[in-house]
Amino acid sequence: MASCCGFPSTGGQEVPHGPRASIHSASSRPVLQTARIEGGRVLVGTNRPLLPDGEGPVRSVRINAFEISVGAVTNEQFARFVEATGYVTEAERLGWSYVFYKFLDGNIPTSGVVGAEWWRKVEGANWAHPSGLGSSLEKLRNFPVVHISWQDASDYCHWAGGRLPSEAEWEQAARGGLDQPVYPWGDEQPSETFTPCNIWQGRFPDLDTAADGYAGLAPALSFEPNGYGLYNMVGNCWEWTADPFRVRSLRKAANSANSASKQEGKRVLKGGSYLCHASYCHRYRIAARMGSTGDSTTGHIGFRIAFDIN
């Protein structure tokens, strides 16, 4: 259910069947600001992994030139998709999603995740009601859409004429033209006084000092963009990629984990979120990654969109 940094999934719970609506029925496609990333041989991963998530070793991958949205897809952009197609997300069909406990009304009955009780299973939580049925998007139109499954993200991308980026594309975009930096801005680690991204400051999970200006999500176009003009490539919200999750190792334990990952339908997420802190979840590095089942939805999972260049 929860990983070492408290990343919950539905545990493979079956999502009720029912039409998501036709994603071919849109009358107009969104106009998204994008950046062009050149193709060629690029490096993926690191030879100095900090976590056992398959961050290394560094490998060379060839990619084609592509475009990628400068920020994560926002609530306003996703709302247009829903209005155009009648789409129903997996969290809506399942009837619940995970919400970080600090964002809940104390009167809402919830259940926790064993070993990561800060995640609460909330009935009625979904993209349009990010903290449960009593919440709305009234002040969140330009914030990243969250409570989004891998399939939801893929369907939006298909409707918009794009796709999810691969892990290699995502990492190349995140570097912003720098030579193998740890972070999109370089190698300097965030601190209480240097706050280039939206992560946790303080003592998790009880105290977030919000030294970076935000306790929880920030708008999609927050903080300084990287060298390619891309915002929040680390921190703020996790982002789905197109790739299945696997660890590149010949060890027996890795082979077993990869087999289970394939069976469970795990996908690669990149970038970390507003809940990350170096003391327990240093996953707001470019090479960092996480695998989660494609049906996972939480208040810190979103996505951005890539486009092929013909």
More confident residue, 112 or 89: 89
Instruction: Identify the pLDDT of residue 16.
Output: 64
Answer whether 32's CB lies under 8 Å from 275's CB.
no
pLDDT at residue 110 greater than cutoff 50:
yes
Measure the CA–CA gap between 288 and 232, rounded to whole angstroms: 15
Q: What DSSP string describes 38-105?
A: --EEEEES-SS-SSTTT--S-EEEEE--EEEESSPPBHHHHHHHHHHH----HHHHHTEEEEEGGGS-
Tokens of residue 63, six digits: 């990619």
pLDDT tens for 196-238 read 999 999 999 999 999 999 999 999 999 999 999 999 999 999 9
pLDDT tens for 10-66 read 655 666 655 465 565 444 567 799 999 999 999 999 999 988 899 999 999 999 999
CB within 8 Å of 112: residues ≥ 6 apart: 101, 118, 119, 120, 121
CA 52, 49, 183, 193 dihedral sign is positive
Instruction: Identify the pLDDT of residue 216.
Output: 96
% of residues, the chain, pLDDT over 70: 88
Answer whether 96's CB lies under 8 Å from 296's CB.
no
Pairing mode, if any, of strands 306-308 and 301-302? unpaired
Pairing mode, if any, of strands 301-302 and 238-244? parallel
Confidence of residue 111 (pLDDT cuts 50, 70, 90): confident
Measure the CA–CA gap between 250 and 102, rounded to whole angstroms: 41
Answer whether 116's CB lies under 8 Å from 107's CB.
no
Answer whether 237's CB lies under 8 Å from 274's CB.
yes
CB within 8 Å of 35: residues ≥ 6 apart: 67, 68, 70, 173, 228, 229, 230
Confidence of residue 108 (pLDDT cuts 50, 70, 90): confident
Measure the CA–CA gap between 60 and 176, rounded to whole angstroms: 18
Instruction: Identify the pLDDT of residue 113.
Output: 83
Q: Mapping DSSP to helix (H, G, I), strand (E, B) and coil, where does residue 159 land?
A: helix
Instruction: Identify the pLDDT of residue 105.
Output: 75
pLDDT at residue 68 greater than cutoff 50:
yes
pLDDT at residue 7 greater than cutoff 80:
no
Instruction: Identify the pLDDT of residue 109.
Output: 78
Taking the mean position of all CA atoms in its chain, how far away is CA 92? 18
Radius of gyration (C-alpha) of the chain in whole angstroms: 18
Exposure letters 143-177 (e unless 16+ CB within 10 A, then b):
bbbbbbbbbbbbbbbebbebbbbbbbbbbbbbbbe
pLDDT tens for 253-302 read 666 776 776 787 899 999 999 999 988 899 999 999 999 999 999 999 99
Measure the CA–CA gap between 58 and 189, rounded to whole angstroms: 21
Confidence of residue 159 (pLDDT cuts 50, 70, 90): very high
Measure the CA–CA gap between 201 and 212, rounded to whole angstroms: 8
pLDDT at residue 249 greater than cutoff 80:
no
Instruction: Identify the pLDDT of residue 27.
Output: 47
Helices (H), the chain: 75-85, 90-94, 150-159, 167-175, 252-264
pLDDT at residue 179 greater than cutoff 50:
yes
Task: Give the C-alpha distances (Å, rounded to integers) separating 134 from 96, 104, 138.
Answer: 13, 10, 12
H-run or E-run covering 113: strand 111-113
Q: What is the largest CA-CA distance in the chain?
A: 54
